[in-house]
Amino acid sequence: MTKSYPLFTLLAVLFFGACKKSDIEHDNSFERSYQTWLKFRESSGNTYRYAVSGATWAGSSWVTTITVWSGKVVQRDFRYEVFNDIRIPEGGWATVPLEEFLQALGFDAEDLPEQELEHFHDNLQWIETEAELGLHEQTPAGRVQTLDEVYETARAVWLKKRGDVDIFFEAKNDGLISSAGFVPNNCMDDCFSGIFIRSIEAID
């Protein structure tokens, strides 16, 4: 009989370990996606780009493309796709004369500071190279971060269980993360904290 105690103890540890509750929501979906990410990271040589999208209820939407080379962010591209209900033209924002743009927005050049006018188009669409990363601070652009950091933030912050929020997670990029975050209860507009990833692709 005494020889059965070690086996019983081992079985008990395994049982209770299996029953231990996760401290994140959507833990099974997250772990499946994380394993898919590890395989993608290896097969791509940790070299890829991904596009983060955002929007407001007031009629603006944007996309940020992050380029990662060998596990390091080397470029960040940003553009408004819609700005105050005005959609980006095929040739980009720079093709719209400033006067025409301001008129469409209901502004006059005299209504805005000269410095804002000077950089108006630059704030709607820009590219940061490796030496410039993080230069555009006061923008809605996606953060300078790798997908390793995105997954870690999702695990530690966005998906962490709490009683006062609704928590979301999806992996629609061929099993890779497409959205993760939370919305506080009873919040109506622009309350989402997290990330929406439109696409992820390896770079040859």
DSSP secondary structure letters along 16-66: HHHHPPPSBTTHHHHHHHHHHHHHHHHHTTT-EEEEEEEEETTTEEEEEEE
- What integer best gives the mean pLDDT of the chain? 84
Q: What SS3 state is found at 133?
A: coil
User: What does the pLDDT read at residue 108?
Assistant: 64
Domain ranges of the chain: 23-93+123-202
Residue 139 corresponds to which tokens in the numbers above?
Answer: 């923008």
For residue range 28-58, what is the model confidence (pLDDT) as tens digits? 999 999 999 999 999 999 999 999 999 988 7
Q: Against a cut of 0.85, is the pTM above it? A: no
User: Which residue would you say has higher pLDDT here, 98 or 60?
Assistant: 60
Closest C-alpha among 116, 159, 157 to residue 138: 116
User: What does the pLDDT read at residue 109?
Assistant: 60
Residue 203 region by backbone torsions, left for phi larger than 0, else alpha for psi between -120 and 50, else beta: beta
